[in-house]
Amino acid sequence: MKALILSGGKGTRLRPLTYSGAKQLVPVANRPILFYCIDNIVKAGISDIGIIISPETGQEIKEAIGDGGRWNAKITYILQEAPAGLAHAVKVARPYLKSSPFVMYLGDNLIGRDILKFVGDFTKKKSDALILLKEVENPRQFGVAEITKSGSIIRLIEKPENPPSNLALVGVYIFSPMIHKAIDRIKPSSRGELEITDAIQELILMGRSVKSCILDSWWLDTGKKDDLLTANAIVLDQWGKKNIEGTIDRSSKILGRVTVGGNSIIKSSTIRGPVVIGENTIVENSFVGPHTSIGDDVRIINSSVEHSVIMNGSEVLDIERLDDSLIGRRVRITKNSGHKALRLMLGDDSVMEV
């Protein structure tokens, strides 16, 4: 079995942050989202991985992932010239996939469990498609499934006005090679894209076996700022550890599960976990609260930060309170007024006085 990770697209929902970088490389707990996807695939025993990339961000993804050696995996990069739909990405990858069954994994999705069981169910039941579903409060925003009691799919509807259920399609699918025939039979949607939901629906019309599993853990599509911050909080809650490699002075307090990277310095500050701080970072006379990720080469001086992601090379200086914020690389935030609390989303190389 192979895997296909979709890591193209333009990341419009995370702009301005993704004007200068791939959304799949935005960090959660100081690791790119894409790394978690590869972790999960390799844990399922799959080491032959294709990654769909776009012309805009493909080189950045190649540089971050490399040849897959750190996962003991073989990575093949596949260029999708334009974001013409998920099924179109499969079509572009057909020369790589050939006649192999495969896991398709959206590179900006995170789920709270491994996929080994689902791969096993797919193989055991000899299905042509197995899709993961999750109960959601707002099914109108997703592809939605109507299923039988046994888990067979009756129909799929993309962002329905009147949802037949509250079961949304999670961004992880498993297909047999039959999906290629289904894709050949569908036409672009009203959005001008080849939709994977239409291809799966076509499998059903062809009389093929399409099964589902309901995900019993969390699932997050990290395409928006608030979703990404939620993902950061959940990952820190569930997988955060205490690991101090940097220097903590005697007037500082480290409370709970806090990671401090090598050559980082904590002076006269309180860090309340779960928090992760990268390498070569300085936190001085500041408070860093729960569910915060701070990257490498960052300076937090005379400030309070909580429930935020601050990426490499940024500075937060003399800010009384920074909450619920997603800060890009090499951003500089300084105080120049009497505002109390800030909620920000800033792209790379920004400068803001507040």
Three-state SS string over 261-306 comes to CCCCEEECCEEECCEEECCCCEEECCEECCCEEECCCCEEECCEEE
Query: What number is the average pLDDT over the span 19-39?
Result: 87
Nearest Cα to Cα of residue 31 among 221, 316, 236, 304:
236
Nearest Cα to Cα of residue 54 among 12, 97, 103:
12
CB within 8 A of 325, min separation 6: which ones?
305, 308, 309, 310, 342, 343, 344, 345, 346
Q: Computed from CA positions of residues 131, 132, 135, 138, in that sequence, does the dihedral angle turn out positive or negative?
A: negative
pLDDT surpasses 90 at 77 = yes
pLDDT band of 191, cuts 50, 70, 90: confident
CB within 8 A of 255, min separation 6: which ones?
270, 271, 272, 273
Q: Which residues share a beta bridge with 322?
A: 305, 342
pTM of this prediction?
0.88
Q: Computed from CA positions of residues 137, 140, 143, 148, in that sequence, does the dihedral angle turn out positive or negative?
A: positive
Average pLDDT, the chain: 90
Residue-wise pLDDT tens digits, 90-102: 999 999 999 999 9
- Whole-number pLDDT of residue 228: 87
- Whole-number pLDDT of residue 11: 46
- Whole-number pLDDT of residue 52: 97
Query: What number is the average pLDDT over the span 255-274?
Result: 97
Query: What number is the average pLDDT over the span 43-58?
Result: 95
Contact 83/192 with Cβ under 8 angstroms? no
CB within 8 A of 329, min separation 6: which ones?
20, 21, 295, 311, 312, 313, 314, 348, 349
- Whole-number pLDDT of residue 15: 45
Residue-wise pLDDT tens digits, 209-248: 999 999 988 898 777 778 889 999 999 998 889 999 999 9
CB within 8 A of 240, min separation 6: which ones?
29, 257, 259, 273, 274, 275, 276
Cβ-in-10-Å burial (0-12, 13-18, 19+) of 85 comes to buried
What domains lie within the chain, and their CATH numbers? 2-235 (3.90.550.10), 241-353 (2.160.10.10)
